[in-house]
Amino acid sequence: MIAPAMALRGVTKRFGSVIALRDVDIEVRPGEVHCLLGDNGAGKSTLIKILSGVFRPTAGEILIDGGPVVFRNPRDAQERGIATVFQDLGMIPLMSISRNFFLGREPLKGIFPFRRFDKDQANTVARAAMADIGIDVRDPTQAVGTLSGGERQSVAIARAIHFGAKVLILDEPTSALGVHQAAMVLKFVIEARLRGLAVIFISHNIHHAYPVGDVFTLLNRGQNQGTYRKSEISREEVMQIMSGGEDLRSLEAEIEGLLSAIAEKESTQPAATA
């Protein structure tokens, strides 16, 4: 089996007396989509921030290519090939596609101290990089805010691939998208996997994650409920674990009891007189 591009060993994160993550182990391999699934409050957001260098774990360690690393900040993670596409995408709506594509890494021309942004090179490279993964950009100078949600996600994925990401972390990339736009983003997730990237797909939507996922880690209240390869677990079993299983059945029984009590009460009340 291919060695992990990134791994977590016994990662725990505390905020005072609150334990957001407890002893989480994860391995992410090149050419695989590893889905981290969980409902709200499962610990997904905390885990993303640890993976991307925003938080440092209270205990445990992060390994890149088999060696332990310490991310002091997000730039450290980026320099080790960890690219994170957050839900807000980190884009500036009024700036052009090419400006957003190179944000912080702008190509320059001219001689110091008169160096300036090279618009022509940026437009050419941005268009080619996105075309390389199947994104047809009508005009790289158009404001990124004029793009659909799926197109903006695609630009962010293309940017990460172009700048040499080895691990691509996607934070709920389809959460606010329609069916067509979500399908577009999932297509580019597969493209990233085919290029040998290790993809971490974080979601609470099993219907989007299951078709593209190779491995599934299920989080619940900050704990790993199990890691499974696709051949080991069905979509329905994933949903069962995510929903809490016994907790959901108990809730359904309680609701049925309440409805029965209401129906019985209504049946015993005298009919209203005209």
Using one digit for the tens of pLDDT, what is the confidence trace for 83-99?
Answer: 988 877 678 888 898 98
Residue 164 inside a domain? The answer is yes
Task: Give the range of the structural domain holding residue 81, as residue numbers without chain letter.
Answer: 6-93+155-233
Q: Output the pLDDT for position 247.
A: 56
Q: What is the CA radius of gyration of the chain?
A: 23
Cα-to-chain-centroid distance, residue 227: 17
pLDDT of 246 over the 60 cut: no
Residue 170 inside a domain? The answer is yes
Residue 217 inside a domain? The answer is yes
Residue 60 inside a domain? The answer is yes
pLDDT of 274 over the 60 cut: no
Separation between Cα atoms, residue 100 and residue 268, nearest integer Å: 67
Residues 190 and 102 sit within 8 Å (Cβ to Cβ): no
pLDDT single digits (tens) 146-192? 888 888 888 888 888 888 889 999 988 888 777 888 888 888 889 88
- pLDDT category at 245 given cuts 50, 70, 90 is low
Q: Which candidate, 26, 8, 32, 84, places its Cα nearest to that of 198?
A: 32
Instruction: Read off the amino acid at residue 12.
Output: T
Residue 112 inside a domain? The answer is no
Domain total of the chain: 1
Residue 181 inside a domain? The answer is yes
CATH of the domain at 68: 3.40.50.300
